[in-house]
Structure 1
Amino acid sequence: MIELFLNEERYENDIRALLMAFYHGEKIFARKLGTDAGENSVKPGVGGENLVSRTLEVVYAGGGLRLTLKDGDGQVLGESCRAVFPSDHTEGKNCLKTALYDLLCEAAGRTLPWGTLTGIRPTKLPMAFYDSGRSQEEAAEYLRQTYKVSEEKIRLCTQVAANEKRILEGVDKERSFSLYIGIPFCPTICLYCSFSSYPLNIWAKEVDHYLEALFKEIRQVRSMVDKSCMTTVYMGGGTPTSLNGEQMDRLLSVLEENFDLNIAREFTIEAGRPDSVTQDKLRVIKNHGIERISINPQTMNQKTLDVIGRRHTTEDVERAFDMARRVGFSNINMDLILGLPGESSEDVANTLERIGKLAPESMTVHSLAVKRASRLNQNLELYPPASQEEVNRMIHMAWQAAEAMGLEPYYLYRQKNMAGNLENVGYAKPGKECLYNILIMEEKQSIIAVGAGGTSKILYPEENRIERVENVKSVKDYIERIDEMIERKRQKFPKSGIFEKRA
């Protein structure tokens, strides 16, 4: 446990984020300090519980800043002072984070690959440079000097931003939308999963009822928007291919009846679980003109698949991929997760070698994020996470493997509680990137979500804000309250502007 003492609440979230990056998995408890830190300090191990591993005192006083880091016994590990603390919010935040980062680096004896950056979308920084006409080299120097980002992550971040800019050219982001369809059913629930997913063997009788509610929402959304403005369609979950062939055909037919799918630049369907993929389902999807699917092994090591609760074999992955090729799919993505329980760099090397032989058009590499609602988080003592150094090696190996496969990094984002404080990266062959991934991660466009657990994000570029409209997560509630979900959209969606049909 880490005790955080502050005499003001300024930048508390930024302080917490850096502490969590260095001391992954430790709980942080904040306490109020008076102006004089010494008068109000609380001794570690309050109440006879010797649980405190370290304390951090943050004191803003006299126009300056003082940071003091102590171990669990109260011994000072290091101190950092700034005589002058900037009054500007952004400059103040950067000053604080740099001072704290240097202090933590010295105490921990290591640096972080992303330096002081803890945000979800680091590519926004170089993207802003490119949009203003500045160069990739200038963006790199800014990341280096302002945020102390490592050279490898600078190269990754600036390259991703450059590819994003290229891919987004010609997209009318502010006057268009993408459609997300959520299918919240899965064959089984994986150990690390925190999504709104329901095991099919228990919920099979509710699938048709769910689809009827979903069809109703799709039809009503159609009446609210200008369908000619649709850019991409993405069907995720859960596992959409948990639906049988007839159910998938009905769903795609309803979409075709209400939206002109021919104008969409892409349509992706996640066939994430190989044990949910059949030739019949693949043919249904292909017959509706959909070219991009995602078959997600997460790992190609059987022992790990068994641990995380994926009831299929590595051979099932290869069979599903081969089946998709024979049906005619020429744009297949594969998802991997690095840092899974018990996996080493050697295990990841095996996964990358087998994926390389399949030669997918894109590969999305995730660093394991331990989500609060997952079974993994509730059983961490049984599944200890890999070290930051080990996960960083895995990430580097994945990048090298992607380059060997002719894939370039094109989108990137980070999450809380991510292994090694690292990132998720999408790699793709040029021309095979997933536009939807960029649009939703960079918040460049309005996303309309239908289905249980879906969150619509409506972009108001003139006001520089996003309005969120959430659907309930529970399948039962979604079915019973579908009219309420529709009314939420009707009340929140603008009646003109981005969804108004233009002459």
Structure 2
Amino acid sequence: MTLIFIGQHYKYELESICKLFYHCQKIELEYESTDFNRDNLIITRKKKGKQHTFLLTIVKVNGQCYRQHRKIENDCSRYEKICERLLCEMVYRILSEYTGRRPKWGIMTGIRPVKNLHWDEEQGITAAETDRRFAEDYLVSEDKIKLCHMIYDLQKPIIKASRKNSVSLYVSIPFCPSRCSYCSFVSHSIASKNAQKLLPDYVEILDKELHHTAQIIKELGLRLETVYFGGGTPTTLSAPQLALLCKRIETDFDLSGVREYTVEAGRADTITEEKLRVLKQAGVSRISINPQTFRDSVLLEIGRKHTADDVIRCYELARRIGHSCINMDFIAGLPTDTVFGFYETINQAVALSPENITVHTLSVKRSSNLFAEKTFSVEELANPIEEMVNYAQDTLLAAGYLPYYLYKQKNTPGNLENVGYCKPGYEGLYNIYMMEEVHSILACGGAGVTKLVDQDTHKIERIFNYKYPYEYIDGFDVILERKGMVKRFYEQSNHEKTVIAGTV
């Protein structure tokens, strides 16, 4: 399929809408082309007249031709945004008519739909007006709007309880026992001898960065609210290595205000009794044990070297050791999985009764092995995955779980969402703070991204650590220098507020 832009360059949004219907297929982009005598074309044109702008979309596919047009006034507010939205709407409506499919998030391609509700309330926009915009401007279905409201209502008191000087700490462990076929994260398999050699140096440097970050938090008078070890698979580290990092956090950080301490234990083939005891003794309050599926054939297909029974044994071991808040991740749409196979997985998860269950939709990224191995068609994936997601939501709600956070990713069939569910009182706080950009997240480790948030102005800045472990180790001096941006951000924000207060 070729997407043509005439008189405008709304590349990102228009290409994203096309990919809803042509998933994992390459969209060729052309600008100001006049060669329309061919098939498989999506033509998007903006032409500005004296008083009005005329928007046209033509789709030529399989010998058929579809056309829609719109007209807006040149002096309307948010002119460019409206032009972009209307062109996206026309592409969406035409491709929905042609394919017979209507993705439920409409033309809302952003990853944080619930944040719109928080933002609108802050701006004094009524819930009714927000719902109208979701439904009419962005073509979002009624059930997805309802889901957003359920999550928003649950998040609201949690976000309100976060203080102005609150921050969270993210600790990145970009190593795994092997690389899953769907994975696009910067993660290194310790099956590689090079990765094994890097681990001791990586842990040593990470320990130093944690110490440095703790000093920054103390100097700025910030309050640590959550700690989150992610990756990769943090339990790829040995028990002594985990103990070293946990001890650094216990020693250097003020944990008196910490409301949640999470470690992604992740894969069953990395979890041992010794590691679980280290985490428990360190005060970790929440762990993730992530099966992705309870079907052994699917685990094998995606490159997991453990069985469903191994996962259950790890879960039961964690319970015996005293871990009282456990999350389990699952993915709808894994290769060779079936609708009924996924139903069985969700039923088994509910029977185990973890405090959190997170349901992801398969996202096929270009950097994953899965993308290289196969081109997926909408017909193969979108409808079955939607059935899976719907079943998971209905089953989990019936079992007493509540949706507490939601995000979307690119390259998901049907533009479907990822949702975290929890038993009442077991909301994953870090997930909410991170996804709704409530407060700053200070990241340590390879591929870590510090996100600095000014809660008053909504200003956001990011600080990137080096991605790869060898870069992280070799470039540690640069990373420490970049961490100085944290101080500058807070000092500048405080100065600007002081100046504003002095002029009032």
TM, length-normalised to structure 2? 0.91
Is 2:115 the counterpart of 1:110?
A: no
Q: Is the 8 A contact 1:175 1:499 kept in 2?
A: no
Is 2:67 the counterpart of 1:79?
A: yes
What does residue 287 of structure 1 align with? 281
C-alpha distance 369-117 of structure 1, shift in aligned 2 (>3 A): same
Q: Is the 8 A contact 1:59 1:67 kept in 2?
A: no
What does residue 215 of structure 1 align with? 207
What does residue 483 of structure 1 align with? 477
Q: Is the 8 A contact 2:184 2:365 kept in 1?
A: yes
What does residue 127 of structure 1 align with? 118
Is 2:35 the counterpart of 1:55?
A: no
Q: Which moved more, 1:217-226 or 1:54-63?
A: 54-63
What does residue 336 of structure 2 align with? 342
Deviations 1:100-132 (A, max 9, x none): 322222222221111121111111222234335
Q: Is the 8 A contact 2:404 2:421 kept in 1?
A: yes
C-alpha distance 266-497 of structure 1, shift in aligned 2 (>3 A): farther
Q: Is the 8 A contact 2:56 2:87 kept in 1?
A: no
What does residue 48 of structure 1 align with? none
What does residue 359 of structure 1 align with? 353
C-alpha distance 259-18 of structure 1, shift in aligned 2 (>3 A): same
Is 2:388 the counterpart of 1:394?
A: yes
Is 2:84 the counterpart of 1:93?
A: yes
Q: CA deviation at 1:61?
A: 4.1
In the aligned structure 2, how far is the partner of 1:9 from the partner of 1:265?
48
In the aligned structure 2, how far is the partner of 1:488 from the partner of 1:452?
14
Q: How does 1:402-417 map to 2 (within 5 A)?
A: 402-417=396-411
Is 2:247 the counterpart of 1:253?
A: yes
Is 2:12 the counterpart of 1:13?
A: yes
Deviations 1:391-449 (A, max 9, x none): 11100011012113311011111011012210100111121111111111112211111
Q: Is the 8 A contact 2:167 2:224 kept in 1?
A: yes
Q: Provide the secondary structure at the position in 2 that maps to 1:97.
A: helix
Q: Is the 8 A contact 2:24 2:377 kept in 1?
A: no
Q: CA deviation at 1:161?
A: 1.6
Q: Provide the secondary structure at the position in 2 that maps to 1:271.
A: strand
In the aligned structure 1, how far is the partner of 2:284 from the partner of 2:225?
14
Q: Is the 8 A contact 2:4 2:41 kept in 1?
A: no
What does residue 373 of structure 2 align with? 379
What does residue 195 of structure 1 align with? 185
User: What amino acid does structure 2 have at the position aligned with 1:101?
Assistant: Y
Q: CA deviation at 1:99?
A: 2.5
Q: Which moved more, 1:352-361 or 1:163-172?
A: 163-172
Q: CA deviation at 1:283?
A: 0.8
Match of 1:332 among 305, 315, 326: 326
User: What amino acid does structure 2 have at the position aligned with 1:322?
Assistant: E
C-alpha distance 346-460 of structure 1, shift in aligned 2 (>3 A): same
Q: CA deviation at 1:136?
A: 4.5
User: What amino acid does structure 2 have at the position aligned with 1:93?
Assistant: E
Q: Provide the secondary structure at the position in 1 that maps to 2:97.
A: helix
Q: Is the 8 A contact 2:239 2:275 kept in 1?
A: yes
Match of 2:235 among 238, 241, 247: 241
Q: CA deviation at 1:322?
A: 0.3
User: What amino acid does structure 1 have at the position aligned with 2:30?
Assistant: R
Q: Which moved more, 1:229-238 or 1:379-388?
A: 379-388
In the aligned structure 2, how far is the partner of 1:124 from the partner of 1:99?
25
In the aligned structure 2, how far is the partner of 1:288 from the partner of 1:499?
34
Q: Is the 8 A contact 2:463 2:485 kept in 1?
A: no
Deviations 1:55-96 (A, max 9, x none): 334343432111111125xx4521011133564233333333
Q: Provide the secondary structure at the position in 1 that maps to 2:287.
A: strand
Q: Provide the secondary structure at the position in 1 that maps to 2:256.
A: helix
What does residue 500 of structure 2 align with? none
In the aligned structure 2, how far is the partner of 1:381 from the partner of 1:149?
27
Compute the RMSD of aligned alpha carbons: 2.2
In the aligned structure 2, how far is the partner of 1:117 from the partner of 1:411?
17
What does residue 258 of structure 2 align with? 264
In the aligned structure 1, how far is the partner of 2:490 from the partner of 2:413?
43
In the aligned structure 2, how far is the partner of 1:157 from the partner of 1:108?
27
Q: How does 1:420-431 map to 2 (within 5 A)?
A: 420-431=414-425
Q: Provide the secondary structure at the position in 2 that maps to 1:55.
A: strand
In the aligned structure 1, how far is the partner of 2:338 from the partner of 2:127?
34
In the aligned structure 2, how far is the partner of 1:364 from the partner of 1:69?
38
Q: CA deviation at 1:166?
A: 2.5
Match of 2:168 among 155, 178, 196: 178
Q: Provide the secondary structure at the position in 2 that maps to 1:25.
A: coil
Is 2:204 the counterpart of 1:204?
A: no
Q: CA deviation at 1:24?
A: 1.2
What does residue 501 of structure 2 align with? none
Deviations 1:329-355 (A, max 9, x none): 111000001111121110101101111
In the aligned structure 2, how far is the partner of 1:322 from the partner of 1:190?
24
